[in-house]
C-alpha cells in the first residue's frame, strides 16, 4: 500500500521546487546573491524582472505544466498513451504555454509530431548531431514514478516512452528512468537512499554508460562543484539546460539534503536552470520526506494549488 503523504509529496514537491526556482532561473550564482541579498525563501521574494514577471508569484512554469499534461492523460486514458500525451503537450504549447525549451519547440514543429512523436524527436536529435541532451524530459517525469509505482519494470519502460516524445538522446532517457524509478522505490517503502541511488544508476547503464560516470564524479562533491550556473558567467560556453546537470542536482539533494527545504534552498541559490533543477530535486525530496516535510507556506501560497489537489484526488481513487 502506497503512502498518500509520499504521493502528495512528489506532486507538490515538483511544483514547489519549480515555482521557487523560477526566482533564480537563468541567473549566475553571483547574480543570485545580488538579486537576493537576504536569500530567496518566499514566493513574495521573487524579483519581478522581465523574465520572472511573466508568471504570478507562486505559479510554476513549463516543467510542471508538462508534467500535468502527462498526469491528465493518465487520468483520462487510464493507461499510457503516447499520442494522447503528445497531443496534450501540443495543445498546451500552442495555447499560451510559457517557458518552452528549444528541443520541445523544434520537435513540436516537426510535421509528424502528432502522428508519430518518437519519429519527430529522433529527427530533431539526429539533426543536433546526436548531441542534444536537454533537461526538458527529466523535468516532467516525476508523475511516472507514481503511476503504477508498484511495477518497477513498467515504470522504466513508460519513462523511456514518454521521454522520447520530445527527447531522444539516451542520456535524457536514462535521466527520466532514474528519477521515475527512484520515486517509485520510495513509494514502495524503501528508505535507504544510497542503496537506491546505486541501484538506479546500475539500471540506467542499460541506456547510457556516461550517466553513472557523471553522477559518481559529482555526487560527493560540494554542490558548487556541479557548477549549476555554467554558461552564465563571462567566458563560459553555454551548458544551461543539460539533462545530466538537472539529474545531478536532484540526486545531490536527495543524498545530502537534511530536509525538503534545505535541499531546495541550496539548489536554487546556485542559479542556472534553477526551476528545472529544483523541480527534479523537489519531486525526489517529496518522495523521500513526504508532503508533511514541505514547508506549509510553500504549499499554501502556490498560485494554483487547487489544480494539483483535484488531480491527486482522482489519482488516489484510481490507485
Ligand atoms: Mg521552467
Give the residue-averaged pLDDT of 104-126.
96
16-40 pLDDT tens trace = 999 999 999 999 999 999 999 999 9
Distance CA(274)–CA(299), nearest Å, equals: 18
- Compute the distance from residue 165 Cα to the ligand 1 centre, in Å: 18
86 and 117 Cβ atoms separated by less than 8 Å: yes
The mean of the pLDDT values for the chain is 96
Which set of grid coordinates corresponds to residue 57?
508569484
- DSSP for 282-318 reads HHHHHHHH-GGGS-HHHHHT-TTHHHHHHHHHHHHHH
Helices 274-289, 170-187: inter-axial angle, 10-degree rounding: 30
Distance 18 CA to ligand 1 centre (A): 7
Q: How far apart are CA 77 and CA 227, in angstroms?
A: 40
pLDDT at 2 exceeding the cut of 90: no
User: For residue 143, what is its C-alpha cell?
Assistant: 508523475
pLDDT tens digit sequence for 135-153: 999 999 999 999 999 999 9
CA distance 62 to 55: 11
How far, in Å, CA of 182 to CA of 152, rounded? Answer: 9
Superfamily of domain 4-318: ADP-ribosylation/Crystallin J1 (1.10.4080.10)
- Kindly give the distance from the C-alpha atom of residue 175 to the centroid of ligand 1, in angstroms, as a whole number: 17
Dihedral sign from CA coordinates of 166, 172, 175, 178: positive
61 Cα: distance to centroid of ligand 1 (angstroms): 5
- The pLDDT of residue 103: 92
Q: Which residues pair with 27 in a beta bridge?
A: 272
What grid cell was written down for 246? Answer: 538537472
Distance CA 319, CA 146 (A): 10
Q: Give tens-digit pLDDT for 45-67.
A: 999 999 999 999 999 999 999 99
pLDDT digits (tens, 9 = 90+) for 268-290: 999 999 999 999 999 999 999 99
pLDDT of 238 strictly over 90: no
Output the pLDDT for position 305. Answer: 97
pTM above 0.95, yes or no: yes
The residue-averaged pLDDT of 100-127 equals 95
Residue 255: the pLDDT is 98
The percent of residues above 70 in pLDDT, for the chain, comes to: 100
240 CA to centre of ligand 1 in angstroms: 12
How far away, in angstroms, is 195 Cα from ligand 1 center? 30
CA distance 215 to 256: 14
87 Cα to the center of ligand 1, angstroms: 20
User: Angle, to 10 degrees, between the axis of helix 210-218 and the axis of helix 170-187?
Assistant: 60
Query: Please, which pLDDT band fits residue 99 given cuts at 50, 70 and 90?
Result: confident
Task: Mark residue 63 as left, alpha or beta (left: phi above 0; alpha: psi -120 to 50; beta: remaining).
Answer: alpha
Minimal CA–CA distance to 200: which of 214, 210, 211?
211
Cα 1 to ligand 1 centre (Å): 33
How far, in Å, from the CA of 239 to the mean position of ligand 1?
16
Q: Are 164 and 140 in contact (CB under 8 A)?
A: no
Return the closest-CA partner of residue 102 out of 70, 122, 124, 118. 124
Tracing cell 553555454 back to the chain, one arrives at 238
Pull the grid cell for residue 289: 520526506
Rounded to the nearest angstrom, the distance between the alpha carbon of 7 and the centre of ligand 1 is: 22
- DSSP structure class, residue 236: P
What lies within 8 Å, CB to CB, of 191 at 6+ separation is none
Tell me the domain boundaries of the chain: 4-318
From the CA of 102, how far away is ligand 1's center (Å)? 12
Q: Is the pLDDT of residue 232 over 70?
A: yes
Q: How far is the CA of 66 from the centre of ligand 1 (A)?
A: 10
Contacts (Cβ under 8 Å, ≥6 apart) of 116: none
Quick one: CA torsion of 313, 68, 198, 247, rounded to 10 degrees?
A: -150
Contact (Cβ atoms closer than 8 angstroms) between residue 40 and residue 51: no
Residues 6+ apart with CB under 8 A from 81: 73
Span from the CA of 256 to the centroid of ligand 1 (angstroms): 24
Q: Is the pLDDT of residue 1 over 70?
A: no
Q: How far is the CA of 276 from the centre of ligand 1 (A)?
A: 6
Q: Nearest Cα to 169, choosing from 118, 213, 93?
A: 118
Amino acid at each position: 500500500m502506497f503512502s498518500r503523504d509520499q504521493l502528495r509529496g512528489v506532486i507538490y514537491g515538483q511544483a514547489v521546487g519549480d515555482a521557487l526556482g523560477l526566482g533564480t532561473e537563468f541567473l549566475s550564482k553571483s547574480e543570485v546573491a545580488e538579486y537576493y541579498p537576504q536569500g530567496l525563501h518566499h514566493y513574495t521574494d521573487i524579483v519581478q524582472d522581465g523574465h520572472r514577471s511573466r508568471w504570478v508569484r507562486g505559479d510554476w512554469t513549463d516543467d510542471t505544466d508538462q508534467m500535468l499534461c502527462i498526469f491528465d492523460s493518465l487520468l483520462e486514458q487510464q493507461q499510457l498513451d503516447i499520442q494522447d500525451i503528445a497531443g496534450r503537450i501540443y495543445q498546451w504549447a500552442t495555447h499560451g504555454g510559457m517557458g518552452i525549451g528549444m528541443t520541445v519547440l523544434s520537435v513540436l514543429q516537426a510535421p509528424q509530431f502528432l502522428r508519430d512523436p518518437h519519429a519527430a524527436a529522433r529527427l530533431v536529435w539526429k539533426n543536433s548531431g546526436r548531441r542534444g541532451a536537454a533537461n526538458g524530459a527529466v523535468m516532467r517525469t516525476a508523475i511516472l514514478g507514481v503511476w503504477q509505482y508498484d511495477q518497477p519494470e513498467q515504470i522504466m519502460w513508460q519513462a523511456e516512452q514518454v521521454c522520447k516524445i520530445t527527447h531522444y538522446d539516451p542520456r535524457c532517457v536514462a535521466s527520466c528512468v532514474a528519477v521515475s524509478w527512484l520515486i517509485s522505490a520510495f513509494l514502495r517503502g524503501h528508505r535507504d537512499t544510497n542503496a537506491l541511488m546505486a541501484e538506479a544508476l546500475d539500471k540506467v547503464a542499460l541506456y547510457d554508460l556516461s550517466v553513472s560516470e557523471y553522477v559518481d564524479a559529482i555526487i560527493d562533491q560540494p554542490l558548487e562543484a556541479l557548477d549549476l550556473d555554467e554558461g552564465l558567467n563571462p567566458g563560459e560556453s553555454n551548458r544551461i539546460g543539460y539533462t545530466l546537470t538537472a539529474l545531478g542536482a536532484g540526486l545531490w539533494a536527495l543524498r545530502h539534503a537534511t530536509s525538503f527545504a534545505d535541499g531546495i534552498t541550496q539548489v536554487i541559490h546556485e542559479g542556472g536552470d534553477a526551476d528545472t533543477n529544483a523541480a527534479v530535486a523537489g519531486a525526489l525530496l517529496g518522495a523521500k520526506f513526504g508532503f508533511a516535510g514541505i514547508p506549509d507556506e510553500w504549499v499554501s501560497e502556490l498560485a494554483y494549488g487547487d489544480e494539483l489537489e483535484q488531480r491527486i484526488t482522482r489519482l488516489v481513487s484510481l490507485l
